[in-house]
């Protein structure tokens, strides 16, 4: 039995705990190699999550020997900053991580691992909204908040909330193999175990919605027909603005230049097409405005960190196990 110990504190994010916890529990039921999951907090008893949902921690840090931890998983949440100021908790996390086979964090749980010195000199990630804070508080880290999770040796860090389930599935696959990880994903109705290199960002998340009618018209045109001509001149004509005026207003209202937005929308459209059909990559590239398959592959890898063929293969694998 592999002992997985989850660290929580007042103000933790409940999904950072419950999502990965369920992944490990299902994996134990579906395989010969089970997991002994335990929840530890500074003190045993009810611990209030950020949402107010209380979770009972069966163990306080004084009740659980840190040397008996196989996998350490630290939750995040608004209470993590206060948790980092608790020397007893930080010390326990340090000792547990030193003796564990691997240590992991979900979301801003990376701050607690960093406070314990576990992340020193490593490449790590966290929720995109905490990137700047982690960089400033710990300049000794190589912070990269594009991937949904990162493995650097025995240390794993992940982005926010649901990315913790992707991380847990990757840990299960590392222990028990791909078949068990996919079976768990199917049981939990997780459509795809996303690769860690996949970006945290998608079009609905990383862009602001435009405030003015002309820019809304440009955005709507791109989203309605990603494969159409969307040069600066084309969009400017559609909006009734000069190309220079469109460039400035689009960047101000949306946060990126028009060309970058068009590429992002096309990548999102390609993601859906790859998941839902068998259209050849070259044909898909022409239909969605990339021109060539090589251009699509470069754009896809730049934004998502994975090749189109690999992305499609992961969906096919999930269908095979469904």
Residue 84 is among the residues annotated as catalytic for this protein: no
Please give the pLDDT value at position 64. Answer: 93
pLDDT of 182 > 50? The answer is yes
Residues 6+ apart with CB under 8 A from 47: 8, 9, 10, 12, 41, 54, 55, 56, 57
Per annotation, catalytic residue among 84, 107, 145, 239: 107
Q: Same domain for 207 and 183?
A: no
Residues 134-152: pLDDT tens digits? 999 999 999 988 778 889 9
> Any idea which of 9-18, 218-227, 258-267 has the lowest mean pLDDT?
218-227
Residue 236 forms part of a structural domain = yes
Q: Same domain for 167 and 232?
A: no
Q: Same domain for 293 and 177?
A: no
Q: Same domain for 283 and 170?
A: no
Domain extent for 67: 2-187
Q: Same domain for 242 and 103?
A: no
CA 135, 138, 142, 148 torsion-angle sign: negative
Q: Same domain for 93 and 219?
A: no
Which residue has better confidence, 248 or 161? 248
Q: How far is Cα 60 from Cα 44, in angstroms, rounded to an integer? A: 4
Tokens found for residue 162: 């649901």
Q: How far is Cα 64 from Cα 81, in angstroms, rounded to an integer? A: 23
Q: Same domain for 170 and 256?
A: no
Confidence of residue 118 (pLDDT cuts 50, 70, 90): very high
Tokens found for residue 228: 């159409």
Measuring CA to CA, how many Å separate 151 from each of 73, 291, 322? 13, 35, 28
């Amino acid at each position: 039995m592999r002992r997985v110990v989850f660290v929580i504190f007042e103000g933790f994010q409940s999904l950072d705990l419950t999502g990965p916890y369920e992944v490990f529990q299902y994996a134990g039921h579906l395989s010969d190699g089970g997991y002994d999951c335990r929840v530890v907090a500074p003190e045993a008893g009810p611990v209030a999550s950020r949402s107010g949902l209380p979770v009972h921690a069966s163990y306080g840090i004084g009740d659980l020997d840190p040397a008996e931890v196989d996998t350490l998983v630290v939750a995040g949440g608004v209470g993590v900053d206060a948790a980092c100021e608790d020397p007893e908790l930080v010390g326990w996390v340090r000792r547990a991580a030193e003796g564990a086979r691997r240590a992991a964090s979900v979301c801003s749980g990376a701050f607690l691992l960093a406070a314990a010195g576990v992340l020193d000199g490593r490449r790590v990630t966290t929720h995109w909204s905490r990137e700047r804070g982690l960089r400033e508080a710990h300049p000794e880290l190589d912070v990269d908040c594009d991937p949904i999770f990162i493995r650097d040796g025995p240390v794993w860090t992940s982005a926010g909330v649901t990315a913790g389930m992707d991380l847990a599935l990757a840990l299960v696959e590392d222990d028990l193999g791909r078949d068990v990880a996919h079976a768990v994903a199917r049981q939990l109705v997780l459509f795809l175990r996303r690769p860690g290199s996949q970006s945290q960002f998608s079009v609905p998340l990383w862009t602001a919605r435009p405030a003015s009618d002309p820019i809304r018209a440009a955005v709507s045109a791109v989203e309605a027909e990603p494969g159409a001509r969307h040069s600066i001149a084309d969009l400017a004509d559609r909006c009734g603005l000069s190309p220079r005026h469109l460039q400035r207003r689009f960047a101000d209202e949306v946060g990126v230049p028009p060309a970058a937005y068009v590429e992002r929308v096309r990548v999102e459209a390609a993601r859906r097409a790859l998941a839902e059909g068998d259209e050849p990559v070259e044909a898909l590239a022409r239909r969605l405005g990339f021109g060539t398959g090589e251009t699509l592959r470069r754009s896809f890898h730049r934004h998502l960190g994975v090749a189109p063929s690999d992305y499609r293969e992961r969906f096919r694998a999930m269908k095979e196990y469904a």
